[in-house]
Amino acid sequence: MKNNQPINGPVVETRLRVRYAETDQMGVVYYANYYIWMEVGRTAFCHERGFSYRDLELNHGGYLVVAESSCRYKAPARYDDEVIVRTSLQSVQRRTARFGYQIYRVDGLLLAEGETFHVLVDRAGRPTTFPVEHLEVLKGSVSA
Amino acid sequence: MKNNQPINGPVVETRLRVRYAETDQMGVVYYANYYIWMEVGRTAFCHERGFSYRDLELNHGGYLVVAESSCRYKAPARYDDEVIVRTSLQSVQRRTARFGYQIYRVDGLLLAEGETFHVLVDRAGRPTTFPVEHLEVLKGSVSA
Amino acid sequence: MKNNQPINGPVVETRLRVRYAETDQMGVVYYANYYIWMEVGRTAFCHERGFSYRDLELNHGGYLVVAESSCRYKAPARYDDEVIVRTSLQSVQRRTARFGYQIYRVDGLLLAEGETFHVLVDRAGRPTTFPVEHLEVLKGSVSA
Amino acid sequence: MKNNQPINGPVVETRLRVRYAETDQMGVVYYANYYIWMEVGRTAFCHERGFSYRDLELNHGGYLVVAESSCRYKAPARYDDEVIVRTSLQSVQRRTARFGYQIYRVDGLLLAEGETFHVLVDRAGRPTTFPVEHLEVLKGSVSA
């Protein structure tokens, strides 16, 4: 059980380098860009946990829209910094999922923490439920 | 006093048109872009209330960094939609400010609601306090 | 005919205000963002000339993809500057269109000039031709 | 001579994964984002060739502003695609530099080609020249 592995548990780390485009005139990363990094972390999480979001969209017409997002900024990230996004799945239900994120500079400085709450909808935008096989993969990836 | 004008009170409306760049492959506006719209609303709020953020940065070396942000998404915005951002200043202290936002489609559909909490720092990133004249302008603009 | 009006001819002006998000740590607008402004100009051009790009996509499955883009930067744009995008349609064929842009600061300073060359494709990404009614609207909007 | 090193020559490859944020409602990467990838390639090029752009900005007050940019789009990139940016320095003078880029999907499909032409300016935006040590590093990295 993943729950017995507190250290190497279902947290997926992904690494990125701050782009010039992501800075603003304050000389630090613009606040909205942390949400893009959360999405990068989310994509990496799904990849590593065997959940194909692309398959969900293409073959099941399921779209995991964002219903809520939030972020607390602790320290600024700067151009060319290496950044680590630690993504975990906090909960999953038949039609919703909640992800959590901790964003660090590579030397260990905590830059930001955030969450996103998602609702599954179909192509027409109506709430729907995860296909069974997708739901099982996700349930196996929830943090303890 | 603005507080006596509930209808034309210290809420500033700004209008924008959804850019193609702001959509994603789901066919709707990407979730991080609402935070950019909040910033557009914040800038318009400051303009209309006589608070020059540009002056704060250039002449006082004060930077209003974002410490927290959050958004609840109610309905998707689409390419070419006209959108109205209603911005209010929820509270202001000597070194912090909290803004609130309601984002509507021009026909009145509520698209999203959000908040940002800001801390004033100097060029070196240390917390500082608003210059007196800026603080007074802001205090006069807080929603009842 | 618009072609008889050299001064107020088929150039469409659209105005925007530089967003904080659009700046980078150099304190000026990041170079890729001028292409977003060109798209804003293109959308405004189509609106004003009676060409509904949204209709082309939704009802004809036609997508005007970008095949080439270029920009020469003359002077930097800064946060909160008011900017005017002057868009013209330089040429249009059965399956291609070329737009030109001049981007000014509101006081008349030329900031940048650019072009985009577009090819019409269908939903599957194959080259296609403009519906007759769209082509006629566009042909009537080409600069002399 | 670098020209004698065909394999480890002055082309630097950098790899990235397409972000959801980078797509638009056409289901492909929005055209302006290729310019951001060119900047990612440029940064990687400088890193690998021993040229610290961060040092140039911080310690010499030199800013390599973009004077021209262009891109030809050959095939669309899609969400989650792995992309390789091949960056080369086409020419460098005392105060200018020209970079070239080829952007491939990881399976070898050419997605786009582009160039950027840069002018070195000081903090006040006036043209200046590269510090000698930076210029030598760059000159040693020019493609044949």
Which residues from chain C sit within 8 angstroms of residue A28, using beta carbons? Answer: 25
User: What is the pLDDT at residue B74?
Assistant: 97
Average pLDDT, chain C: 91
Cβ pair C41, C74 in contact under 8 A: no
- Angle at alpha carbon of residue A117, lines to A112 and A118, rounded to 5°: 135
| CB contact (8 A) between residue C33 and residue D32 | yes
Q: Which of C27, C28, C30 sits opposite A21 (nearest CB)?
A: C30
Cβ pair A29, A76 in contact under 8 A: yes
**What digits encode the pLDDT tens for the residues A14-49?**
999 999 999 999 999 999 999 999 999 999 999 999
User: What is the pLDDT at residue D84?
Assistant: 98
> How many whole angstroms from its chain centre is CA A52?
14
Q: Give the minimum alpha-carbon distance from B139 to chain D in angstroms, rounded to a whole number.
A: 36
Q: Which SS3 state, helix, strand or coil, does residue C106 take?
A: coil
Average pLDDT, chain D: 91
Interface of A with C in 6-25 (CB under 8 A): 20-21, 23-25
C3 or B142: which leads in pLDDT: B142
Rg of chain C (C-alpha set) = 16
pLDDT > 70 fraction of chain C, expressed in percent and rounded = 93
Residue B8 has what DSSP assignment? S
User: What is the pLDDT at residue D121?
Assistant: 95
User: How far is Cα D133 from Cα D140, in angstroms, rounded to an integer?
Assistant: 11
Of A126, A69, A123, nearest to A98 by C-alpha is: A69
Mean of the pLDDT values across residues D73-98? 96
Residue D95, token pair as written in the block: 């105060």
ipTM over 0.85: yes
Give percent helix, percent strand, percent coil of chain B, each to the nearest 5.
25, 40, 35
**What digits encode the pLDDT tens for the residues C64-114?**
999 999 999 999 999 999 999 999 999 999 999 999 999 999 999 999 999
pLDDT > 90 fraction of chain D, expressed in percent and rounded = 79
D47 or C35: which leads in pLDDT: C35
User: What is the pLDDT at residue B4?
Assistant: 39
Which structural domains are found in chain A, ordered by start?
2-139 (3.10.129.10)
User: How far is Cα C19 from Cα B125, in angstroms, rounded to an integer?
Assistant: 22
**What digits encode the pLDDT tens for the residues A43-99?**
999 999 988 888 888 889 999 999 999 999 999 999 999 999 999 999 999 999 999
User: What is the pLDDT at residue B55?
Assistant: 84
Which residues from chain A sit within 8 angstroms of residue C23, using beta carbons? Answer: 24-25
| CB contact (8 A) between residue A25 and residue C21 | no
CA distances from A139 to A7, A51, A96, A134, B5 (A): 19, 11, 11, 9, 52
User: What is the pLDDT at residue A3?
Assistant: 39
Using 50 as the pLDDT threshold, list the residues of chain B that sit under it.
1-8
Catalytic residue status for C24: yes
Q: Which of D26, D71, D116 sits opposite C69 (nearest CB)?
A: D71
Mean of the pLDDT values across residues D40-61? 90
**What digits encode the pLDDT tens for the residues A109-140?**
999 999 999 999 998 889 999 999 889 989 99
User: What is the pLDDT at residue D9?
Assistant: 53
Mean of the pLDDT values across residues D87-101? 96
Q: What residues contact residue A127 under an 8 Å CB cut-off, 6+ apart?
A: A95, A119, A120, A121
User: How far is Cα B125 from Cα B119, in angstroms, rounded to an integer?
Assistant: 10
A70 touches chain B (CB under 8 A): yes
Of D70, D71, D73, D81, nearest to D111 by C-alpha is: D73
B121 touches chain A (CB under 8 A): no
pTM of the model: 0.93
